[in-house]
Structures are given as C-alpha cells and as structure tokens.
Amino acid sequence: MNQNYKNSYKVSERGLVSLSVYNVGFQKCDPLYQWGPGIRDHYLIHYIISGSGTYIVGKQQYHLQSGDTFLVYPNTEVTYFADREDPWEYCWVGFTGSDASIILNATDFTREQPVIKDTPEGDAIKCQLLHIYDARGNEFKHAVEMTGRLYTALALFMHNATKNTENASVNQYVQKGIEYISANYSYPITVEDIASYVGLSRSHLFRSFETVLGQSPKEYLTEFRMKQACYLLEHSSLSVTAIAISVGFDNSLYFSKTFHRANGLSPREYRQSKKSP
C-alpha cells in the first residue's frame, strides 16, 4: 500500500499587506521526489517531520533530516529532493508581506545559511504550520486566522534565535517607517517625511530599507499604495480619481501611469478584469 501523500492549499488572493499566507500543506514524498531547479515569488519554510533529503541553493548543498528546517527566499533559484532510501515528510508554509523580511531577519535564517539544523521547539513549529492548514479558506476571516497562526510560528523562530542583536536597531527603524507609511499613505507624504518621523537621514533610511527589505523607502511606499489601490478597485465603487486621492496621489493621471507600470493594466482595465463573468 502506498503511504505517500500530499495535502496542500493555495490562497487565491494575497489580501493582507503586512503578512499573508500564500500556500500551506504537508507531504510524505516518494523516493527522490524533486522540486526545481526553480524560483518562488514568496518566502517558503519547510519543516522536516521525518526522513531526509537535500536542499540546494546556488553552489551550496544541505543534507537535511527530521527536525531540520529550510527557508526558500523569493527570486532565488533552488532545488530540493527527497532521499532515495528514507524520503522526507515535511510541512510547509509560503508567505509574503512587508513584515516577512523584518521578522525573518530576527531569526537564525540568512541568505548565506538558509537552514536551521535540529530546530528548537520543532514540534511546536510543526503544530503551528498544521494549524495554519486547518484554518485554510478564502474568506477574509480565514486570511486573518491563517496570518495570526503564521505570526505565532515565526515568533517561535525568533524566540530561539542565537544571532546577536546588531540588526535589531535597523529592524526597528524599518518597522517604524512601515508604521508611518501604513498610517499616512493616503496623504502626499515623501521619503523625507518618513525619514524625519523615524529620526534618520534620508540616506540612512535608504540603507536600512535596502538591508531589510531589499527595496528603497520610495519603492516600498509606491508598492504599498498600489496594493491598497488594487483592493479599492476590486472592492469599492469609487472612481479612479477618488481612489488616486485615497492612496495619496493628487494627480489621477500620474496615479494611472504608476498603476499601469506596477500592474501592467490601467486602473479601469484592472477593475474590469476582476469582475465576475
């Protein structure tokens, strides 16, 4: 009798900006079952429940087993495959959002070392990942519950981090900047306004955002506004001009150009594409 299985769930929309679950599941793999080489557009954590396998990132190979965890970074080519004799069983969660990189930066995961061997509180982490799967669904309440359980799972990695706190102040600056953007994006704020609120020079703020998020404060602000605009286009009857004003643009033409550059569609085309057939 074949004991291998795969249970997975993919969210149809990533609605929450700060942190949202993209997919979640658990799988008992066939011998040599492989994913990749390929890239993801989101973060992806795998916790190995039993068995063993190999994770390849660039020129690095990691031979992992029960109790280990590996992280896939967005837009990074990876390959992972199960052992021939003792194929792994794992659970996973994929996620995106502005909080993701800040939280992960406070764990022991790094791009240079994207694995944690013999993961502390591994059983608790496994339970939280399975709880996310249990909360699956495409209604807003499901998104909130899955995200809440994801925060709990990530907090376990943070609580047991062994790295020093040299990045703590950088994280705090970026988090403070994100909080300001979240509260004021509907006003015509500038990068200088954000820097002033955080208490940094514009250049220091730029370096902090680049270090933690991999993008500039201006890029983050624009992306945040575009996500809010997408939500309003889909879930409200406001005019394009009203939506432009609502997300901090006093020029609807400039808003439309920015939106088209970010999404490949004009605001009106985007709204039409989201209407039920």
Model pLDDT for residues 2-54, shown as the tens digit of each residue? 467 678 777 755 555 678 899 999 999 999 999 999 999 899 999 999 999 99
Predicted TM-score (pTM) of the model is 0.67
Can you spell out the DSSP letters for 218-266?
Answer: HHHHHHHHHHHHHHHHHH----HHHHHHHTT-S-HHHHHHHHHHHHSS-
What's the pLDDT at 276?
Answer: 62
CA 171 vs CA 131, 166, 202: distances in Å: 28, 10, 16
Q: Does the pLDDT value for residue 91 go beyond 90?
A: yes
Q: How far does Cα 105 stand from its chain's mean position? A: 12
pLDDT tens for 184-227 read: 999 999 999 999 999 999 999 999 888 888 889 999 999 999 98
CA 244 vs CA 28, 103, 164, 231: distances in Å: 48, 31, 43, 12
What's the pLDDT at 25?
Answer: 94
Q: Using an 8 Å Cβ cutoff, are 209 and 174 in contact? A: yes
The Cα 115–Cα 125 span in angstroms is 14
Q: Using an 8 Å Cβ cutoff, are 19 and 95 in contact? A: yes
Angle at 58 between CA 54 and CA 63, to 5 degrees: 20
Q: Give CATH superfamily name and number for 168-273.
A: Homeodomain-like (1.10.10.60)
What's the pLDDT at 214?
Answer: 82
Kindly indicate the confidence band of residue 154, based on its pLDDT and cuts at 50, 70 and 90: very high
Q: What is the third-level CATH fold of 5-159?
A: Jelly Rolls (2.60.120)
Structure token pair of residue 263:
């999404």
The Cα 109–Cα 73 span in angstroms is 10
What's the pLDDT at 267?
Answer: 95
> How would you list the strands of the sheet with 20-28, edge to edge?
5-10, 20-28, 89-96, 43-50, 69-72, 115-116
The Cα 92–Cα 94 span in angstroms is 7
pLDDT tens for 167-190 read: 667 778 888 898 899 889 999 999
- Domain 5-159 and domain 168-273, same fold? Reply is no
What's the pLDDT at 171?
Answer: 76
**Domain range list for the chain:** 5-159, 168-273
- List the one residue out of 21, 163, 164, 167 whose CA is nearest residue 94: 21
pLDDT tens for 95-138 read: 988 788 888 888 889 888 999 999 999 999 999 999 999 998 87
Residue 266: CA count within 13 A, CB half-sphere: 9
User: Count of CB atoms within 10 A of residue 83's CB?
Assistant: 18
The DSSP code for 160 is T
**Is the four-CA dihedral 236, 237, 238, 239 of positive or negative sign?**
positive
What's the pLDDT at 1?
Answer: 39
Q: How far does Cα 166 stand from its chain's mean position? A: 23
